[in-house]
Structure 1
Amino acid sequence: MIIHVNQRPCEAQTGDLLLHVAQHNKSHIGYICGGNGICQSCFVYVQEGMEHLSPLSNVEKACISEKLLAEGGRLACQTVITGEGTIRLLTRAEKLRRIVLGLNVPGFITYAQTIGYNVLNKLPDCAGSAALRIRNGELNPGESLRKIGAGLGHASLFVSASFLETFAFMQLPLSLITGGASGMYTMASDAVCSVSGGAVHLPGSTCRRHEPEKTASVHTVTISGR
């Protein structure tokens, strides 16, 4: 199935985490904590298709304010696709990027106020939820670090893909680069066809570009030692 993350069509399947869908399709999403439901950087706004997603988890209830829940807020690391249908998401990271690039000062002020409200009101509950999960063995610090490391690979792919999309004029076909290198190698190799029998054979009738039955050298240099 296809869902849309930041207006980008993304391949997805029932049972996929929204976080993994965004990562594998190089969509702009935050995941500082590696998907452990701690940092809230994978926050998304569900613009359409909430009915095709898993119910709110206890982690989401602890970390997301009622105000953001009312706006369709979810944590992508906690939300699973449960059925096929139209799903459209806007990630918090992408929303902030658009505000900054658009020099939208009023939008930035509103955004900062909303995030500040969520932090002040939900940070204690979110931290308490993380501590409880660690105590109950539901959150393993070692596994958390592994997830963070794995996320770095997806982040690098997103950065490279975004750079090429943004600066398309800088893209050069790989064939042009490799073709140029190959051409230089051919020119260099043809400068001296062979060295054998104490003679250097310059391009000519003994060069590999000529008929094999013609074996006379155009020019030979005798090399002697004392």
Structure 2
Amino acid sequence: MTIYINDKPCEAQVGDLLLNTAKNNKAHIGYICGGNAICQSCFVYVLEGADCLSQPGEDEKAFISDKLFAEGGRLACRTTIIKEGTVRVLTRAEKFRRTVLGLNVPGFITYAQTIGYNVTTMLPSGVSSIVSRVQSGRLNPVDSLGKIAAGLGPASLLAMNNFVETFPFMQMPLDLAGNAAKGALNAASGVLCTVSGGRFHLPGSTCPSHGPQETIERVPIKSK
């Protein structure tokens, strides 16, 4: 079947999570927490086809207010396609982008008020849900941290792409800032190498004195 995420057609099957459908089709749904339902980065508005999706569970209810549920709000990491039909969803980031591009001031004010209300109202229940799941063993903190780390890269790239698409005139300043940051890291690594007399390189940098870092050979050590 085909569902639409931000008007982009995406191939999906019954039983798929909305978040996984987005990832498989390179559609724009964030997932900073890695799909653990401990944030709202994968929040979407269901514009059509709510009956084709699973009912909200307790994990979602802990983070989404009744007001946002009434507007079709769901967490993509907890929403499963249960039957075929026409499904259209809009991500929070895309709704914000369209509001800004359309110079919709009243819409922006309403959007900000709704999100602010949801954050302040649902924060206690959200925290309580996380603690409860950890205590019951349904949420593994170590596993969650790993998923968060894995999701930060794609989430950052998504945010940057959306920002550049919304404000294309910022592409050159961003490129210049990135090059300046890289140069600063390289210079700092060179200083540290000189002071330490070794090869102390900062993450993401290439020391101009030594060139690319050498590959470290890993040798397994077994204990008897």
> TM range, normalised to the smaller chain?
0.5 to 0.7
Give me the whole-angstrom Cα distance separating, in 2, the residues matched to 1:107 and 1:56: 26
Name the counterpart of 2:25.
Answer: 25
Q: CA deviation at 1:104?
A: 2.4
RMSD (CA atoms): 2.5
AA at the equivalent of 2:84 = E
Q: Give the alignment of 1:1-226 within 5 angstroms.
A: 1-152=1-152, 154-155=154-155, 158=158
SS at match of 1:77: helix
* Number of positions where the alignment pairs a residue of Structure 1 with one of Structure 2: 168
- TM-score, normalised via structure 1 length: 0.67
1:77-127 CA distance string (max 9 Å, x none): 111111111111011111112222333222111101001111121111111
AA at the equivalent of 1:74 = R
SS at match of 2:31: coil
Give me the whole-angstrom Cα distance separating, in 2, the residues matched to 1:161 and 1:100: 16
Preserved CA contact (<8 Å) 1:26 1:158: no
Give me the whole-angstrom Cα distance separating, in 1, the residues matched to 2:84 and 2:70: 23
SS at match of 2:56: coil
Preserved CA contact (<8 Å) 2:54 2:82: yes
Give me the whole-angstrom Cα distance separating, in 2, the residues matched to 1:107 and 1:155: 25
AA at the equivalent of 1:114 = T
SS at match of 2:74: strand
Q: CA deviation at 1:138?
A: 0.7
Preserved CA contact (<8 Å) 1:52 1:87: yes
Give me the whole-angstrom Cα distance separating, in 1, the residues matched to 2:33 and 2:161: 22
Over 3 Å counting, the alpha-carbon distance change for 1:11 and 1:158 in structure 2 is: farther
Between structure 1 and structure 2, the one with the greater Rg is 1
Preserved CA contact (<8 Å) 1:42 1:75: yes
1:47-91 CA distance string (max 9 Å, x none): 111111111110111111111111111110111111111111011
- Ranges in structure 2 where 5+ consecutive residues have no aligned partner: 167-224
- Ranges in structure 1 where 5+ consecutive residues have no aligned partner: 167-226
Over 3 Å counting, the alpha-carbon distance change for 1:110 and 1:60 in structure 2 is: same
1:185-222 CA distance string (max 9 Å, x none): xxxxxxxxxxxxxxxxxxxxxxxxxxxxxxxxxxxxxx
Give me the whole-angstrom Cα distance separating, in 1, the residues matched to 2:4 and 2:82: 16
- TM-score, normalised via structure 2 length: 0.67
1:18-65 CA distance string (max 9 Å, x none): 111112222222222121111112111111111111111101111111
